[in-house]
Structure 1
Amino acid sequence: MSLHVHNITVDCADARGLATFWAGLLGWNVYYDDDPEVVVAPSFPPSVTGMLFIPVPEGKSAKNRLHLDLQPDDMTRDEAVERAVASGATVIGDHRHEDGSGWVTLADPEGNEFCIERGEAESGPRAPRAFRIGS
Structure 2
Amino acid sequence: MTSLVRHITIDCADAYRLAQFWAAVLGGSLAEDDLPGDPEALVTSAGSALLFITVPEKKAAKNRLHLDLQPQDRSRDEEVERLLALGAELVADHRRPDGTGWATLADPEGNEFCVERSAAERADGEVTYRQVV
- TM-score tier, shorter chain, comes to 0.7 to 0.9
The number of aligned residues is 121
Q: Offset at 1:49?
A: 3.2
**Match in the other structure for 2:41:** 38
Secondary structure in 1 matching 2:18: helix
Mapped partners of 2:23, 2:90: distance in 1: 19
| Deviates most, 47-56 or 64-73 | 47-56
**Match in the other structure for 1:77:** 76
Secondary structure in 2 matching 1:124: helix
Structure 1, unaligned runs of 5 or more: 126-135
- 1:90-109 matches, within 5 Å, as 90-109=89-108
Q: Offset at 1:119?
A: 1.0
Q: Offset at 1:124?
A: 1.4
Secondary structure in 1 matching 2:105: strand
Q: TM-score, normalised by structure 1?
A: 0.85
**Post-superposition, which runs of at least 4 consecutive aligned residues in structure 1 deviate over 3 A?**
32-35
1:57-97 CA distance string (max 9 Å, x none): 01000000000000000000000000000000000000001
Mapped partners of 1:88, 1:3: distance in 2: 34
Q: Offset at 1:37?
A: 1.0
Task: Give the fraction of aligned pairs with identical amino acids, expressed as a percent.
Answer: 59
Contact 1:5/1:49 (CA < 8 Å) preserved in 2?
A: no
Higher helix share: 2
Q: TM-score, normalised by structure 2?
A: 0.86
| Deviates most, 26-35 or 15-24 | 26-35
**Match in the other structure for 1:7:** 7
Structure 2, unaligned runs of 5 or more: 125-133
